[in-house]
Homo-oligomer: A and B are copies of this chain.
């Protein structure tokens, strides 16, 4: 998706060797036009997959998941990271480690909203080490639903998550895969292919 790559190049801020800040349009401030394009592209990639539900983790996944769900005409569900009086007690639960935030946390999805006959499209803003996605995959497995694949906005191709998830036989479609990036040279390069099966 050219618009996304252009915005990454013009607005992305590289910190060290592994942090890419795209909070001007993706995960702090959100540009609805970019989000529409993300929804259109990712939904198109899975339009033949019989998706019945989009699943993500709060918070940064919610905007792209909603946008994809709009185009597919199916509900989006976001896994909760915190216990709340608003969440059912009868939930699927999985553990996730966040390298970005340096913490372990638990994600929960109410059993009401994920059933064995669902076909689930996983959506997230970033794929790096694959921890959040593995938590979601675990939750879908508990529900007995099928996984159509994972739609990712930005994949850090130099980290192991993409290979790990594809190695599980799950289709991963990433709109932009970063081959390498350098804070010192302020340079980002992308991989050309964006859709490989495990």
Q: Which chain B residues lie closer than 8 Å to A82 at the CB level?
A: 101
The interface residues of chain B lying within 8 Å CB-to-CB of A113 are 23-24, 28-29
- Which of A58-66, A136-144, A165-173 is the interface stretch? A58-66
Give A84's nearest chain B residue, CB to CB.
Answer: B101
Asked, given contacts A21-B86, A58-B58, A87-B23, whether A75 binds B29 with beta carbons under 8 Å apart, the answer is yes
Instruction: Across the interface, name the chain B residue whose C-beta is closest to A22.
Output: B86
In this assembly, does A32 line the interface, its C-beta being within 8 Å of a C-beta of chain B?
yes
A residues near B, CB below 8 A?
15, 19, 21, 23-25, 27-32, 35-36, 58-59, 62-63, 65-67, 69-70, 73-78, 80, 82-88, 100-102, 109-110, 112-113
- Beyond A19-B86, A30-B76, 15 additional contacts (C-beta under 8 Å) are A19-B85, A23-B87, A23-B112, A28-B77, A28-B87, A28-B109, A29-B110, A30-B65, A30-B69, A32-B69, A32-B74, A59-B78, A62-B66, A63-B63, A63-B66
Contact between A66 and B35, CB atoms less than 8 A apart: yes
Residues of B within 8 A of A85 (CB): 15, 19, 100-102
Residues in B neighbouring A88, C-beta threshold 8 A: 21, 23
Q: Inside 8 A of A73's CB, which chain B residues have their CB?
A: 32
B80 touches A28 (CB 8 A): yes
Chain B, residue nearest A15 (CB)? B85
Shortest CB–CB separation between residue A18 and chain B, in angstroms? 9
Contact, CB under 8 Å: A75 / B23 = no
B86 touches A36 (CB 8 A): no
Q: How far is the CA of A25 from the CA of B29 in the complex (A)?
A: 24
Which of B19, B21, B29, B62 is within 8 Å of A63, CB to CB? B62
Which residue of chain B has its CB nearest to the CB of A77? B29
